[in-house]
């Protein structure tokens, strides 16, 4: 019987997840409302849950967990993540669900890795995957060549996103349990956002660069 490499590393007892919120360098006023969740700080195999609720009114279904790259001491069988060491995945159910109480507009995007089974993302104008379907994305298989991180089978991560009309209130992240990982989930933009780490920002922008907003929580399976 053929078995696939799973995202979560089963040989390890715990795995972590965290969410980071980022914004682009040199962004204009419209871009300032963009929120990016990178899951840094959630913890390895911890539920994402209400991690972003206080700051952004964003919650995740109970099956949504954080997952930390094994290179950083977690149990994530992934590499080449767009920022930090943490992504988000689900172990049970048909999809992970994100609810955004205040809604968001214009676009939705993310990075993902799913080298064995295709995934999907659905965006709705009601909570918990209800109401009108605003956009539906079919996610093709990603490469599994390990680049740029040969120790992670779920590598690299690829960007994906779409624009839509209306106000979105929830998103389904689907595929096979323990076979797809997401990172840098971006609300308000069809292109996922990546921002340098704080130390890098100082070098790039100088100490006077106060125009950049970093929506970041302080500080993977595809768990194998």
* 197 or 147, higher pLDDT: 147
Q: What is the DSSP letter of 143?
A: P
**Model's pTM, two decimal places?**
0.78
Cα–Cα distance, 87 to 7 (Å, whole number): 11
Picking from 191, 204, 205, 9, the residue whose alpha carbon sits closest to that of residue 82 is: 191
- Backbone φ and ψ for 128, nearest 5 degrees, come out as 60, 40
Q: What is the pLDDT of residues 114-159, one digit of tens each?
A: 999 999 999 999 999 999 999 999 999 999 877 888 788 999 999 9
pLDDT at 216 over 50: no
Q: Which residue has the higher pLDDT, 148 or 78?
A: 78
Q: Which of 74-78, 112-116, 211-215 has the lowest mean pLDDT?
A: 211-215
Output the average pLDDT for the chain: 79
Q: Which residues contact 49 (CB under 8 A, 6 or more apart)?
A: 59, 60, 62, 64
CA distance 175 to 159: 16
Residue 30 has pLDDT above 70, yes or no: no
Q: Is the C-alpha dihedral spanning 161, 22, 37, 175 positive or negative?
A: positive
């Amino acid at each position: 019987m053929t078995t696939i490499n799973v995202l979560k590393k089963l040989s390890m007892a715990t795995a972590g997840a965290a969410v980071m919120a980022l914004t682009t360098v040199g962004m204009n006023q419209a871009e300032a409302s963009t929120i990016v969740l990178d899951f840094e700080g959630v913890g390895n195999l911890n539920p994402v849950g209400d991690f972003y609720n206080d700051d952004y009114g964003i919650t995740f279904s109970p099956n949504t967990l954080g997952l930390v790259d094994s290179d950083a001491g977690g149990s994530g069988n992934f590499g080449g993540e767009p920022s930090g060491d943490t992504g988000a995945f689900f172990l049970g159910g048909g999809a992970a669900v994100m609810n955004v109480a205040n809604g968001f507009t214009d676009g939705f995007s993310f990075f993902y890795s799913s080298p064995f089974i295709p995934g999907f993302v659905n965006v709705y104008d009601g909570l918990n995957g209800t109401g009108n379907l605003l956009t539906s994305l079919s996610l093709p298989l990603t490469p599994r060549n390990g680049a740029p991180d040969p120790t992670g089978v779920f590598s690299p991560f690829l960007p994906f996103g779409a624009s839509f009309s209306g106000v979105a209130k929830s998103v389904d992240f689907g595929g096979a349990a323990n076979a797809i990982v997401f990172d840098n989930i971006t609300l308000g933009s069809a292109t996922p956002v990546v921002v340098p780490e704080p130390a890098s920002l100082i070098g790039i922008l100088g100490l006077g660069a106060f125009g950049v907003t970093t929506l970041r929580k302080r500080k993977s399976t595809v768990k194998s």
